[in-house]
Amino acid sequence: MITFKEFLNEDAGDRAAQKDREWLAQNSNLADDVGRALDAAVRTAHNLNYITSVKWWSTTAKSNNVRLVLNKLSPPLRNAAIVFYLDVKDARPLTLPGALSKDGLPFDAAVIVEPINGDLIAVPSLSQPHKSTFSNGRGAAAAGKLANMFRIDKVVKAATQNLTFYARNHHKAKRG
């Protein structure tokens, strides 16, 4: 037989476990929040010089970029991850100067959301995946929604850094 104090401790643990289960159930909102933040980040990039449209796609649309990202992930993460990839209608000529060229500034970014642990990975360029940004989701449930928004903001900035650089310097790539 357990004491009343042990009963209270056990009950508190059950409540904590219930909160964890509720947080895991709400992690699907994490992917929605990331999607909204990514869409808002590229809104200003439309109709720049040589760029007609910019959009983020999720894993529901299977493309070569998504397959490339999924092949590099470990099998357990591959099954659970939600991958967002950047789709840019890019008409930059091959003769564009160095830092703004297609080779110098690729628009092949991806963001990976792992909904079980809440981990976020931003890959600004799939051709250089070692320059990725990782945000650990452990402890995010206790920190609250504001901490998640800071994590999402950090990951979105990392994923859109090439596009942001082009947007700030696109006047140097004037149409001839």
Mean pLDDT across 44-65: 72
Count of Cβ atoms closer than 10 Å to residue 70 Cβ:
17
Task: Give the burial class of 101: count Cβ atoms within 10 A of its Cβ; 0-12 exposed, 13-18 middle, 19 or more buried.
Answer: middle
- Edge-first strand listing for the sheet containing 133-135: 51-57, 82-90, 110-114, 119-123, 133-135
pLDDT tops 80 at residue 39: yes
Task: Give 104-121 pLDDT, tens digit per residue.
Answer: 778 888 888 887 778 888
Name, in order, each residue with C-beta under 8 angstroms of 1's C-beta and a sequence gap of 6 or more: none
Q: Which residues sit opposite 120 in a β-bridge?
A: 113, 135
Report helix, strand or coil for 73: coil
pTM of the model: 0.72
